[in-house]
Structures are given as structure tokens and as C-alpha cells.
Amino acid sequence: MKKLLNDPADVVVEALAGMAAAHPDHLRVDLDHKLVLRAGAPVSGKVALVSGGGSGHEPLHGGFVGRGMLDAACAGEVFTSPVPDQILAATTAVDGGAGVLHIVKNYTGDVMNFEMAAEMAAESGVQVEAVVTDDDVAVQDSLYTAGRRGVGVTVLLEKIVGAAAEEGQDLAACADLARRVNAEGRSMGIALTSCTVPAAGKPTFELADDEMEIGIGIHGEPGRSTEKLAPAREVAARLVEPVVSDLSLERGESVIAFVNGMGGTPLLELYLMYGEVAKLLDDAGITVARSLVGNYITSLEMAGCSVTLLRADEEMVRLWDAPVDTPGLRWGG
């Protein structure tokens, strides 16, 4: 293992301390609870958005804390859900009286820990709604799995619902919008390399130089199949087709198209992939209303990418365009 670390056991706390040092105007951190909090939170009268999950997906979630996105992010150990105490501390720290929306990626541990925290928050009088993202078409949503994983759509949801909360929509409206975004978004990913959890010290799975892993998640877990590496245009088709088909996207519909890097693939390749994705969508008569390309929901240093398509209505596009000011996403006035 070759990583920039002091002690693997301290990686999360030391990274949070670094974030606080880098972005003093945007956020503050609570190192005891491993929280990233929006500077100035709680914002009185605004619905607060709290997300969180295992570390190793940066900039998700801590990098999306700030005006127009999240109010707090709870950082678990690498690839491990945060615990209820942390989530509860975040929830009470940012509640501005209008309630708190928990944004939870569909992983067994995350769901259980957020559920326990929501029960505790309700006991202390904070109104909590939870929305679970499950957009990964690589996993069949059936009785025989833990359900689809929450991946790329989580980034788009945090942006869009963050804008809705910022403009004063109430908790029920924010929760409805969040569920709508999740329902209209799907993702599919591939890996070119595995990744190494610092505490484990070696790669999570093996992949030969000429192989790719199709249908991966964001935790370095192996995917559904290992195949020979193919040219980018074929890889793009393997990602776009199942997403388009699962969403039943038809000619004339509009999407927000998101090509996400898993952490170890350069932008040069991500833009090349975006070009292939855009061509495929164009051929299918699907309009790209907005796009996003870059490393936003990563899996440590894994090479590879995912494609997320979100069937976007006018309100989603308007909220997408609204100003956002976080370390990870920043645009508008």
C-alpha cells in the first residue's frame, strides 16, 4: 500500500481537520462526532439536509456542505456507515426549526444507522424525514438482494433538493422532490482497478491489466462480472444502455447526464467517455438538458467511472441551475 497517511486509523479525522483548514469560510467540523457542518448552521426556518456515509467517496458528502446543498455530513470510517450518535449530533446541530431531511444511500448499514438516529431524533422532538437513494441498475431490486445501491443520483439529489430547501420549500415538499429525483435517476459503473482501504492495506479485489469489472458499486466491492477491457465507445454503451432501458427513456425526453470518475481516472478520459455517452444519447433522441463530468462520488483511488441519467423536468433543471457554494460544487451568484 502506497498512500499519503500518518496512521491508517487516523485518516478520517485528519482529512476532516484538513477540510476545515482549507474551507474556513464555508464549513466547520466537529472532530469528536466526525461531522462537516455548514458555516452559520442552523439556518433558521430552513429545512436542513443531512447526509453521510462511509468515507472514501470524497467529495461526497462533506464536500457538498454549504449554501444550496447540505447542512451537515456525517463521516463514517472508510466505506463504513456513520453511527447513530454522529447522525443524531448532526441532526440536532443543524435543525433550524423546519425539520431535517436525511439523505441515505441504500446500503444495509447506512439504512440501519440512519433509522436508529431518526428514532432518537424524533424522541428529542426534531422532525425528521428520510429519503433513501437506490439508483444502481447493476443490482436487481428484488427479494434476493439488499436492493439497488445508492450511487451517482445521490449527488444530483443533494444539489437539486439543497436548492429547494434554500428557496424555502418545506420538509414535505423537499422529501417529495427527493423521492422524485431518486425515482427518475439511474446509474451504472465500471472499474478498471480495485482500491485499497487504508486499514486493510491491500486491494479489495483483483483485476488483471486487461480486465474491467462491470457493475461495481462505490465500496471497492467486486461487481457482477469481470470482462476483457473494451474500447471506450463499447464501455459507454455497456453503461448507457441498461440505464436508458431501466428508466424507459424515450425519444424527445430530457436528462441531466452525469459522468462520474471513481477517483483514479483522469478528466481526460472522463471527458472522452462523456463524449461517447453524449453521442449515444443523441442517437437515441434524448436531449441533454445539463451535464456534469468529474470525480464527485468516488471509491478511493479506483480507476473507472459511472454514468447517471436523471429524467429532468423543468423544476429540476431550474433547481440544478440555482446558485451553489460548496467545496465540491460551486456556481451561480
By CB under 8 A, name the one of 51, 58, 60, 77 that touches another protein. Answer: 77
Q: Based on the shown chain and the rule CB under 8 A, indicate whether residue 31 belongs to the binding site for another protein.
A: no
Q: How far is the CB of 200 from another protein (least distance, A)?
A: 4
Rounded to a whole number of angstroms, the distance between the first and last alpha carbons of the chain is 43
d(CA 139, CA 155): 19
Write each residue from 182 to 221 as x if it is in contact with another protein (CB under 8 A), else as -, in one continuous string.
Answer: ---------------x-xx---xx-----------x-xxx
Least spacing, CB of residue 81 vs another protein, in Å: 5
Rounded least distance, CB 301 to another protein, Å: 14
Which lies closer to another protein via its Cβ, residue 66 or residue 82? 82
- The bridge status of strand 100-105 relative to strand 324-325 is unpaired
- Contact mark string toward another protein, 83..122, x via CB under 8 A: xxx---------------------xxx--xx--x------
Minimum separation from the CB atom of position 164 to another protein (A) = 30
Annotation marks residue 219 as catalytic: yes
C-alpha torsion 170→176→177→180, nearest 10: 180
The CA angle 247-223-160, to the nearest 5 degrees, is 40
For residues 72 and 88, which CB has a smaller minimum distance to another protein in the complex? 88
Q: Which of 6, 144, 210, 283 touches another protein by CB under 8 A?
A: 144
Supply the minimum distance, in Å, between the C-beta of residue 65 and another protein: 20
d(CA 119, CA 49): 17
Query: Does the annotation mark 57 as catalytic?
Result: yes
Across the chain, which distance is largest between two alpha carbons, in Å?
55
| Nearer residue to another protein within complex by CB, 169 or 196 | 196
With respect to another protein, which residue has the nearer C-beta, 106 or 295? 106
Which is nearer to another protein, 77 or 253 (by Cβ)?
A: 77
Catalytic (active-site) positions: 57, 219
Q: Contact positions toward another protein, by CB under 8 A?
A: 54, 76-85, 107-109, 112-113, 116, 138-140, 143-146, 149, 197, 199-200, 204-205, 217, 219-222, 224
